[in-house]
Chains A and B, each alone.
Chain A
Amino acid sequence: MTDTKFRELFKIFITFFKIGLFTFGGGFAMIPIIEKEVVEKHGWVDKDKFLDTISITQTVPGAVAINMAIFLGYNLLGFFGALAAAIGVALPSFIIILLIAVSFNQFSNNQIVQSAFMGIRPAVVALIAYAGYKLSGNIDWSSLLVIFLVVTLVGRIILGISPIYIILAAGITGLAVNYFSERKMDKQNNGEV
């Protein structure tokens, strides 16, 4: 590996390390910060490519910030660029959580910490419920989609079906609905001719 390429890799690593270190709340909260570093400061990609990056992270499973880092790193310097960006963005969380995990038993037995978590747990429930509520505003709800939401809730809460099967069922249902609506359109088109 040449010296300049190594320096470029290090720059990618440091940039994504910074992004990983200063973004609280994860996921979509990180997008403006990534945009500022990657588009405005370093000029690594233009605005259009950055928008592509956002849409690709929504087609792929996994943490949004990690996916964006991998995609941008790969576009800059191929496989090693992706690796440098992914390690960079994940490393701050890894180190911080490791430190917390090491000392968790000591401070979690503390009476004050226990009382604090009694208050924090309901707050987390509310934050998760709010995330679901907020996302539902971005969808063009058809009756089929509402039915699928209800099926997911019943399947998960009452029947305890694994999320993996629910995700697979969602993909297959999407393909099936697409297939039948295309056939219907073909028939209508043929009828007109």
Chain B
Amino acid sequence: MPLLMQLFLSFFKIGLFGFGGGYAMVSLIQDELTFHGWLSMKTFVDIIAIAEMTPGPIAINSGTFVGYKVLSFLGAISATVGVVAPSFILVITLAHFFEKVKESPYVNAMLDFLRPAVIGLILAAAISFGESSLVDWKGFLIAGGVFLAMLKTKISPILLIVIAGAVGIILY
């Protein structure tokens, strides 16, 4: 299969199964990247940091970045369109049946179990990134500090990333 088509299909799959958006999609993207060997896990974590510091959804940001790395400009377009296309089809379809869908016990029953699955996928992503990113005690210290800051203060995640970057320059 041509690479352009592979990129499109991979990101179409990510868009199609990416319930919960954002961080929930990270597991899906990671799975596709490992399968195709498109990007190292370290670079992927760097992209998530960049995505967090730049505007826009993580799905679009990583689609554009990975697409560009694999096949430059056309790759970026193909991955980005791929990740948005399922939303486009599903949201427009759903807009027609919205009242029915909202009340449907079947949809709500599925969502009940999708929620813990999404949380599990997010935590799994955190754990597997932890394995490659927490290389020494300094890393654990930074991670613990950021988690505590999110829990106890109102400091924005963007600022926390900037601070972590400054701490990194001092410590490493």
**A interface residues, Cβ below 8 angstroms from B:** 20-27, 52, 55-67, 70-71, 74-75, 79, 82, 86, 89-90, 92-94, 96-98, 100-102, 104, 108, 112, 114-132, 135-136, 138-139, 145-146, 148-153, 156-157, 162-164, 166-171, 173-175, 177-178, 182
Contacts and interface: CB of A to CB of B under 8 A. Distances in A.
Interface in B79-110: 80, 83-84, 86-88, 90-92, 94-95, 98, 101-102, 105-107, 109-110
Interface residues of B, number: 104
Given A64-B22, A70-B91, A139 B115 contact: yes
B116 A148 contact: yes
B122 A170 contact: no
Given A102-B68, A117-B49, A122-B142, A170 B110 contact: yes
A82 B84 CA distance: 12
B126 A167 contact: no
B124 A124 contact: no
B50 A100 contact: yes
Given A23-B55, A24-B158, A79-B92, A124 B172 contact: no
Contacts of A162: 31
Given A132-B23, A175-B106, A117 B16 contact: no
Contacts of A148: 113, 116-117, 120
Contacts of B126: 125, 128-129, 132
B7 interface: no
Contacts of A60: 87, 90-91, 94
Contacts of B118: 135
A104 B50 CA distance: 11
Nearest to A66: B87
Contacts of B150: 126-127, 130
Contacts of A118: 135, 139, 168, 171-172
B65 to A, nearest CB: 5
Contact of B168 (A70, A115, A170): A115
Nearest to A177: B109
A120 B94 CA distance: 39
28 contacts: A24-B52, A57-B91, A61-B86, A63-B21, A63-B57, A70-B92, A74-B92, A75-B95, A82-B91, A89-B56, A97-B56, A98-B64, A116-B169, A120-B46, A121-B45, A125-B45, A127-B161, A128-B23, A132-B123, A136-B119, A138-B115, A148-B113, A157-B128, A163-B121, A171-B110, A171-B113, A174-B111, A177-B113
A93 B17 contact: no
Per DSSP, chain A at the interface is helix
Contacts of B145: 126
Given A61-B16, A63-B21, A122-B143, 4 more contacts: A62-B59, A116-B165, A132-B119, A166-B121
B166 to A, nearest CB: 7
Interface in B121-143: 121-130, 132-135, 139-140, 142-143
A129 B61 contact: no
A34 B71 CA distance: 33
B121 A120 contact: no
B9 interface: no
Contacts of A163: 17, 27-28, 31, 121
